[in-house]
Amino acid sequence: MECNSNLLKIINPVVVDDSHYFVKDLFQKKFGCAPPKQGIHLIGFYKNKDGYYLPASYICLTPFKKTLLVGGVMTDGRVIKQMSDEEKQIITECGGIYLNLLKYTFERFAQDCDAFFGYCNNPRALEVDLAAGFVETEYQYLLVNFHKPLSAWRKKKLFKIVNKLGPF
């Protein structure tokens, strides 16, 4: 776990009540809309050389039927450019901020839900999602992380309900 402890010296995951202040512009750039107001907002902050905390990565978790819908995941390349070569090397060796923030999410919120769902139609993001612990489902773009034992009936029901939501 040396990698995680080194990464946590660089990126500090924080749950915030209102993500708009921190990620509004980046979210608009990446997704063409404002970040969600509802949900659980997790931001990976980076402390730059001037002592300012900058949002390096973001995840929104939306509670839904005893699951958490993972959406709006993004990393700000402008923040990464401000990092030292040593910090960038540590992040690269650990698999990236996105991967580690997802893993942190799965661990931190495991007791708050029966499963995590994701929706991904980006091949690059899909690689990271799968490496973090998501698996693909029979539904196009729908991913799941069942971290608790659930009956086959419950899983099937969740797949159908969450898939009907479309992108989230």
DSSP assignment string, 118-156 = EE---HHHHHHHHHHT-EE-SSTTEEEE--S---HHHHH
Q: Count CB-CB contacts under 10 A for residue 97.
A: 22
Helices (H) and strands (E) in the chain, counts: 7, 7
pLDDT grade for 2, boundaries at 50, 70 and 90: low
Per-residue pLDDT reduced to its tens digit, 22-61: 999 999 988 899 999 999 999 999 999 999 999 999 999 9
* Reported pTM: 0.92
Q: Which of the 8 DSSP states describes residue 82?
A: T
> pLDDT for 65-111, tens place per residue?
999 999 999 999 999 999 999 999 999 999 999 999 999 999 999 99
Q: Write the CB contacts of 32 (distance below 8 Å, at least 6 apart in sequence).
A: none
Domains and CATH numbers, the chain: 2-165 (3.40.630.30)
